[in-house]
Amino acid sequence: MASRYDDVMSLSVRRGFLWPAVDLYGGFSGFYDYGHLGARLKRKWEDLWTAHFLGLGDNYYLIDTTTILPEVSLKASGHVDHFTDILVTCTKCKESFRGDHLIEAVTHEEAEGLTTAEVDAKIRDLKIRCPKCKGELGPSRPFNMMFPVGVGPLGQDRAYLRPETAQGVFLNFKREFEALRRRLPMGLAIVGRAYRNEISPRQGAYRMREFLQAELQIFFDPATFGTTLPVDSVKGESLRVARGAEKHAPTANERTVADLIRDGLPAFYVYHMVLVQRFYLDRLRVPRERFRFAELDERERAFYNKVHFDVQVAQDSLGGFKEVGGVHYRTDHDLSGHALASGKDLSVPVADRKVLPHVLELSFGVDRNVWALLDLGYEVAGDRSVLHLPPSLAPVVVGLFPLLSKQGMPERAEALYRDLRPGFDAFYDETGSIGKRYARMDEVGTPYCVTVDHTTLGDGTVTLRERDTMGQVRVPGTSLAAILRDLLDGRREFRALGSPVSRP
RNA sequence: GCGGGCGUAGUCUAGUGGUAGAACAGGAGCUUCCCAAGCUCCUAGCACGGGUUCGAUUCCCGUCGCCCGCACCA
């Protein structure tokens, strides 16, 4: 019995969205490659994300930074120390545990950051045994989630593949602040790869060792940011949130912006939650009930976050609400860390004061979002399978077919294809029956199909078919480009295009 | 990493100690023509490595990978 996950993965592999990397040699756990449709879908998601989030501010820009970072910079960010877990394995039942957690459970004191020798000593002194089988615990060993890289001919310069794109922004903060003429708020975004040596990659594109992040870091003056935003204009807007323990249930509560601010969340933070929710509901067309913000408590949050809500989308292939992004209030953690370690003052002048800017991070996993689109969009009903992608994200926007492979119809259809090709992701097909061609387009999410038929030969009109409704209208072939552009940009509705063509 | 299950064309699968069939998909052709029609032909597979054996896709071991549970998840 194939699961929902298998169905989505099968579609992805068959049609060219994504599949396991290096599968010629049996695969490479935690790594996935994108095929021709997946790469285009991913690129369109990135473009949409970039347009939406850079549009949130006049001083928001995209930058691009290295994926390899020297140890000193990641030491300053806290990743060298905090991204390392000390693991202890039971010699009897082979179960592994985090050393600091074992010690904290007994002493109720913070034990994170201890060395392996210290953990071993504590375990011995406190006579800690395996919590599961009471067996004897083996020696502890460090495990860092970052991939080490030896730079230089002898590999003598210790470095790591970046575990998040954000550090590239912080390292370039001072340069950009000058280049952008010293203005706050300033937004710097990176869409790029990041790497984590996950112990156990799972669930396809959900937990990967190499993945693509889209992150926007907004630098601001904590004293004034909330008051400079049009928070009042969204006060009545409702957000879907699960706070504290609520996230363990597959639901969310509708809470107004005003409510959340009254509960103590910073106004600027809630304001940006609204903008993120709009991106998912309005732009990505995620059904409202499948979207929510899930709050992480102190124990679950990363070491640098003061307020943290996951952005989650409910996906049947992954068993419910799963993280696709996050809204993180990182305070001045990063800039102060880099200021301390580099010896450079990263505070900036604001009016007559010096301010170390705070950071609000809007962070998204691109691969997770692409998978969510496939999961949400894929529908199998009887013998028809349809991928309901938002038209603006569909890797193929329009299919062009001749009804018959004769009477000059292929030439007419191909001419239309040539006309549209420069401006649209168009696809021409004359093989098989017309129904089969529609079916193929439906399955890869193509929102519109155009067919040249007998009537076309007389008056130049063609049929335009909409994927989701299978409805057809007749439009002039010469207007196709303009009509498609309007449909994709949301300026026109398909049903408003004209009277439907009836079919037998 | 531990435990369990699994690995046969692109996909989904049948099957055997004597090297494999089907369906769907794909290609060519005929025919038909507005929602995966039909017919003919074709392409294509036992994850990888080792062992046992006259002979291994099948049995055994290892590796890799996938799924589930545990742990982990800045």
| Angle, vertex CA A313, rays to CA A307 and CA A315, nearest 5 | 145
pLDDT of residue A141: 77
Q: What is the mean pLDDT of chain A?
A: 91
Per-residue DSSP letter, A189: E
Q: pLDDT (tens digit, 9 = 90+) per residue, A146-175?
A: 999 999 988 889 999 999 999 999 999 999
Q: What domains can be seen in chain A, in order of their start residue? A: 50-76+150-377 (3.30.930.10), 84-144 (3.30.40.230), 396-496 (3.40.50.800)
A349 C-beta less than 7 Å away from strand B: no
**What is the pLDDT at residue A244?**
82
Angstrom CA distances, A294 to A247, A258, A266, A273, stand at 6, 18, 16, 11
Protein CA at A2 to nucleotide C1' at B6, angstroms: 13
The pLDDT of residue A110 is: 67
Nucleotide nearest to A431 (CA to C1'): B27
Angle at Cα A428 formed by Cα A424 and Cα A434, nearest 5°?
A: 125
| Phi, psi values for residue A306, rounded to 5° | -95, -40
Q: Which of the two residues, A79 and A303, has the higher pLDDT score?
A: A79
For residue A413, the one-letter residue type is A
Q: Are A360 and A327 in contact (CB under 8 A)?
A: yes
| A220 CB neighbours strand B below 7 A | no
In chain A, positions 98-157 with C-beta closer than 7 Å to nucleic chain B are: 98, 101, 145
Percent of chain A predicted with pLDDT > 90: 73
Q: Which residues of A421-434 are buried (b: 16+ CB within 10 A; e: fewer)?
A: eeebebbbbbeeeb
How far in angstroms lies nucleotide B58's C1' from the CA of residue A1? 24
Find and list the nucleotides of strand B having atoms within 7 Å of a protein beta carbon: 1-3, 7, 10-13, 25-28, 31-37, 47-48, 63-74
Pairing assessment for the beta strands A253-256 and A238-242 based on DSSP bridges: antiparallel
- pLDDT at res. A407: 86
Helix axes A4-15, A366-377, angle to 10 degrees: 100
pLDDT at position A94 over 70: no
| pLDDT interval class at A1 (50, 70, 90) | very low
Average pLDDT of the residues in A377-384: 87
- Which residues lie below 8 Å from residue A301, measured CB to CB, with a gap of 6+? A308
What is the per-residue DSSP string for A289-308?
A: GGEEEEE--TTTS-TT-SEE
Structure tokens given for A373: 């689109």
Helix (H) or strand (E) holding A99: helix A99-107
Distance A385 CA to B39 C1' (A): 26
Please state whether beta strands A461-466 and A448-452 pair in parallel, antiparallel, or not at all (unpaired). antiparallel
Helix (H) or strand (E) holding A11: helix A4-15
Q: If phi over 0 gives left and psi between -120 and 50 gives alpha, with beta otherwise, what is residue A371? A: alpha
CA distance readout (Å), A318 to A6, A7, A23, A25, A255: 10, 12, 22, 26, 26
Q: Using 50, 70 and 90 to split pLDDT, how confident is the model at A87?
A: confident
The backbone torsions φ and ψ at residue A165, rounded to the nearest 5 degrees and listed phi first, read -70, -25
Lowest mean pLDDT among A56-60, A106-110, A194-198, A361-365: A106-110
Interval A71-78 mean pLDDT:
92
Q: Residues 6 or more apart from A42 whose CB is under 8 A from it?
A: A34, A212, A366, A367, A370
Give whole-number Cα distances, A468 to A391, A439, A481, A495, in Å: 10, 12, 20, 12
Closest nt by CA–C1' to A438: B35
Q: How far apart are CA A444 and CA A385, in angstroms?
A: 9
Full DSSP string of A265-276: --HHHHHHHHHH
Closest protein residue to B70 using CA and C1' atoms? A95
| Strand B closer than 7 A to residue A164 Cβ | yes
Backbone angles phi, psi at A21, to 5 degrees: -70, 150
The first and second tokens of residue A306, run together, are: 């003061």
H or E segment to which residue A205 belongs:
none
Distance (Å, whole) CA A120 – CA A86:
10
A99-113 average pLDDT score: 73
**For residues A25 and A214, which has the higher predicted lDDT (pLDDT)?**
A214
* pLDDT at res. A103: 79
**DSSP calls for A441-499:** HHHTT--EEEEE-HHHHHH-EEEEEETTT--EEEEEGGGHHHHHHHHHHTSS-GGGSSP
Residue A365 predicted with pLDDT over 90:
yes
A73 sits within 7 Å of strand B by its CB: no
* pLDDT tens-digit map of A308-330: 999 999 999 998 999 999 999 99
CA distance A483 to A477: 10
SS3 state at A390:
coil
Q: How far is CA A190 from CA A59, A242, A407, in A?
A: 15, 28, 52
Identify which has the larger pLDDT, A209 or A297.
A209
What tokens appear for A457 in the block? 């030969």
Residue A393 exposed, middle or buried by CB count within 10 Å (0-12, 13-18, 19+): buried
Tell me the average pLDDT across A442-467: 95
Measured in whole angstroms, the distance separating CA A192 from the mean position of its chain's CA atoms is 11
> For residue A411, what is the enclosing H or E element?
helix A409-420
